[in-house]
Chains A and B, each alone.
Chain A
Amino acid sequence: MRLLLLLFSISFTLAGQDIFTFEKSRRYGDYLLKSGQFELASKEYERLVYLSPNNDTLKTNLLKAYRLSNQTTLGIEKLIVLYADKTKVPFSPALEFSKLQMQNQSWQQAKDFWNKNESFSSDDKVLLNVTSDIFNNDFKSARTTFSQISNQENELGIGYRSILEKEVHKKSPGLAALMSAVVPGTGKAYSNNWKDGIVSLFFTAGMAFQSYRNFNKYGTNNHRGWIYGGIGLGFYLGNIYGSVKSTKDYNRKKINTLQHEASALFNTYY
């Protein structure tokens, strides 16, 4: 019995381990971050950054954990604690902080941050500016910023150029309205809604025909023609409005697709 107890205690003293060492905590933090437990990871990395205040990788991972767990404001406030001088933040934590700012949709602060930062190259700054402009649906500004890029062969730059070129081919709501005013329904067909266009054409043409028939049969002093004509005019005006709306919808969907494309490119590059 004594021997058993002795063996028991010896095995514990030999195989026992301190799980709160720095190395173990770091591995646990990495595991939490990789397995998607971001909120717990942020707490673990807070401890690790406290233990080793000069490790940039840990600081980057802390910011990443804050961003992925959607605690963007906490992460943004954390940077001032981690680095005294915002302009001298090293590249990887600075990039992580930029992503945090973009996720928080504070575009102007994000631009101010990376434009003043010394770790980003001029092309990086241009690309980040273009990314935030595309995400913020400001393609005009994106185009002027993009012209400042020095390396024309940049992978992300090539992708962004094609996105900015695609953005030009939007459909004009004014043209759609004009088309619908001339032939009802064609404006909707122009914005790829040809089924709605055909229905509009039938509605308007049917009412116009009824109105014409009733004016012919009963004359202009009878109410019938006027009622049909009034409803037909309503459909006609409604169709012009609908064409403009459907073209705007088309453009909006197109911009949204381009933004998703830009997001995918950005995620693969950085």
Chain B
Amino acid sequence: MKMKYIVIKFLFLGLLLLKNDALAQVSLYRNVLPNGNIKKEYVEAKNNKNEVQLVFSGLFLFYKTFFSSQDLTVCTFSPSCSEYGILAVKKYGMIKGGVMTMDRLTRCNGLSPHNYEFDKTTMLLKDDPRITPAVSVVSNIK
């Protein structure tokens, strides 16, 4: 009976040691690994003007917090597909914005990088719903 208590005590002590070891490991890699506790702020979900925007911003934040946070940056574009979705809904409304997002999801395959501009800061392809492309005026005169 006494032996059992001693074993349990040692096991608890072992647990403490284990915790210390883990902390040591963390401090060892502190500057290498990014701190996972930093809360990211999503500006896309702010400044909602009506209820539809509020609902979609909520959905966006839910997705970002519980799904996207567990994933790597796998989207080919900048802004990412979810950000594109909320930005499109905010600019063009629920129906057109939704359709645009569905189109974007099918385009997010990385097979046609030549169709987009390259963003050097994020190393991703540029595709922003807020920018409407226009025929650039050429007046290149030597």
Contacts and interface: CB of A to CB of B under 8 A. Distances in A.
B5 to A, nearest CB: 56
B115 interface: yes
A135 B139 contact: yes
Does more than half of chain A's interface fall in helix, strand or loop, or is it mixed?
helix
B99 A193 contact: no
Contact of A249 (B106, B115, B138, B142): B115
A208 to B, nearest CB: 14
Interface string B102-142: 11111101011001000000000000000001111111111
Contacts of B137: 105, 135-137, 259
A221 interface: no
B100 interface: yes
A256 B138 contact: yes
Interface in B46-66: none
Contact of A239 (B103, B115, B136, B142): B103
A136 B139 CA distance: 9
B98 interface: yes
B101 interface: yes
A242 B105 CA distance: 11
Interface stretch (A15-23, A81-89, A196-204): A196-204
A267 B141 contact: yes
Contacts of B138: 135, 256, 259-260, 262-263
B141 A238 contact: no
A91 interface: no
B141 A199 contact: no
A117 to B, nearest CB: 18
B141 A235 contact: no
Interface string B12-41: 000000000000000000000000000000
27 contacts: A102-B141, A105-B137, A105-B139, A135-B137, A135-B139, A137-B135, A193-B112, A193-B115, A195-B109, A196-B106, A196-B109, A196-B112, A200-B106, A235-B102, A238-B101, A238-B104, A238-B106, A239-B102, A241-B99, A242-B106, A242-B107, A245-B103, A252-B135, A256-B135, A256-B136, A263-B140, A267-B140
Question: 10 closest A-B pairs (Cβ-Cβ)?
Answer: A238-B102, A242-B103, A238-B103, A259-B138, A195-B111, A234-B102, A267-B142, A263-B140, A200-B106, A137-B135
Interface of A: 67, 99, 102-103, 105, 135-137, 193, 195-196, 199-200, 203, 234-235, 237-239, 241-242, 245, 249, 252, 255-256, 259-260, 262-263, 266-267
Given A99-B141, A196-B107, A263-B141, 13 more contacts: A103-B139, A103-B141, A135-B138, A199-B107, A237-B99, A238-B100, A238-B104, A239-B103, A242-B103, A249-B115, A256-B136, A263-B138, A267-B142
